[in-house]
Amino acid sequence: MTATLDPFRAQLDALERRARRRVLMPRAGHDFASNDYLGLAGDPVIGATIAQAVARGVPAGSGGSRLLRGNAPEHEALEARAAAIFGSEAALYLGNGFAANMALLAGLPGPEDLIVADALIHASAHDGMKLSRATSVLVAHNDPQGFDDAIAGWRAGGGTGRPWIVVETLYSMDGDVAPVGALAQVAARHDGMLILDEAHATAVHGPGGRGIGAALEGREDVIALHTCGKGLGVEGALVTAARPIIDLLVNRGRSFVFSTAPSPLMAVGVAAALERMLAADDRRARLARLIDHAAQHICAPLGLAAPTSQILPVILSDDARTMRMATALQAAGFDVRGIRPPTVPRGTARLRISLTLNVDEAIVEALGEALQAALAVEQA
């Protein structure tokens, strides 16, 4: 064994000592870790639609970027249908939500602009801001006044461009909801743009699953990002916005321009998932009941506030303790994952319990009991 790899081994060892080393794990146990909130990932209707597309000759591969020969009829049909469903003028399909946030934030704001993002915004937005030509600042979580003050201060200091407000509508690690109406007012007051990342809300929240910001779609100053690999159960991401915004992304969104287009078969699958989303009021109602059940059997016994969404964080603070708890729950048959910095702020390591229709009330009750038992062992 040579010394060439020693610096990399040292980095891994340092992560191990801090209880922050990540490893890939096989699927095992009851699902409290995925984002397949409505249980659509294995939906037979979506699968059959893709199989029918295969049978009629739709290719698995796109063959190139959308600007070369990779632009398939299935991509364009999906985008037209998505725009109609979400109420926007146009839509653009990208490979994933990370690529979409990169395209939006690195490609649209100009050098005279200001990006104001929520302090808990997703890592993909942080990376997009790093590549942006605009100045970027973070403000306190879910604080519309903080956004307003940041923009007003920038203007007072000579800022002449456009402000861009960037938030998640439902935060993936805390499960709380953004005040989108108040943020839209801030954007309008300052002639700004509002980017709503609906990743964890699409299919689950809003009328027909259209998202928490559904009432704002179609406004010229609003851009929405609907990822397809969570509540929709498939893959990719849809940006919905006014036509000039979409056309500019086609020209300046580097993660779109320089990426091989998603599979036309997956575009067919996403289109089918959107139709399933519109007809899934029964699934959303079942998930709401499951959330209420978790409030009673998980949150109440632990003295936690009732969840406001399908994402239930149990904050334990200490990284090593969090991972011991996760390991104990996994050994008991529950796939619960520990989340540590830098995914969440320092000192807020947690168990992230994701409620999906892949489990039922009895399994939720059993998890509550296992969680209490594991905590008792930790406190002994």
pLDDT in tens, the chain (380 residues): 678 999 999 999 999 888 888 888 888 899 999 999 999 999 999 999 999 999 999 999 999 999 999 999 999 999 999 999 999 999 999 999 999 999 999 999 999 999 999 999 999 999 999 999 999 999 999 999 999 999 999 999 999 999 999 999 999 999 999 999 999 999 999 999 999 999 999 999 999 999 999 999 999 999 999 999 999 999 999 999 999 999 999 999 999 999 999 999 999 999 999 999 999 999 999 999 999 999 999 999 999 999 999 999 999 988 999 999 999 999 999 999 999 999 899 999 999 999 999 999 999 999 999 999 988 887 76
Q: Name the region of 209 (left: φ>0; alpha: ψ -120 to 50; beta: rest).
A: left
- The answer to whether 240 touches 224, Cβ cutoff 8 Å, is yes
Rg (CA), the chain: 22
Residue 7: inside a domain, yes or no?
Answer: no
Residues carrying an active site annotation = 35, 122, 168, 172, 197, 200, 230
Does 201 lie in the same domain as 100? yes
Does 287 lie in the same domain as 232? no
Does 371 lie in the same domain as 291? yes
- The answer to whether 99 touches 256, Cβ cutoff 8 Å, is yes
Residue 233: inside a domain, yes or no?
Answer: yes
Residue 1: inside a domain, yes or no?
Answer: no
Does 304 lie in the same domain as 165? no
- The answer to whether 231 touches 35, Cβ cutoff 8 Å, is yes
Query: Helix (H) and strand (E) counts for the chain?
Result: 14, 12
Residue 244 phi/psi, 5° resolution? -60, -35
Residue 8: inside a domain, yes or no?
Answer: no
Q: What pLDDT does residue 1 have?
A: 61
138: enclosing H helix or E strand: strand 135-139
Residue 220: which residues within 8 A CB-CB, separation 6 or more? 242
The total of structural domains in the chain comes to 2
Instruction: For residue 127, give both structure tokens.
Output: 């990376």
Tell me the three state secondary structure of residue 302: helix
Instruction: Give the closest residue to 104 by CA, choosing from 79, 136, 80.
Output: 136
Burial 103-123 (b: 16+ CB within 10 A, else e): bbbbbbbeeebbbbbbebbbe
For 261, which DSSP code?
Answer: P
Residue with tokens 């805390």: 174
Residue with tokens 């969090």: 322
* CATH at 134: 3.40.640.10
Does 285 lie in the same domain as 271? no
- Note if the pTM is more than 0.85: yes
Q: What pLDDT does residue 22 have?
A: 86
Domain ends where: 228, 243, 278?
A: 278
Does 205 lie in the same domain as 133? yes
Does 270 lie in the same domain as 285? no
- The answer to whether 234 touches 269, Cβ cutoff 8 Å, is yes
Q: What pLDDT does residue 24 have?
A: 84
For 214, which DSSP code?
Answer: G
**What range defines the domain where residue 296 resides?**
20-38+281-379
- CA 74 – CA 30 distance, rounded (Å): 35
Domain ends where: 262, 278, 294?
A: 278
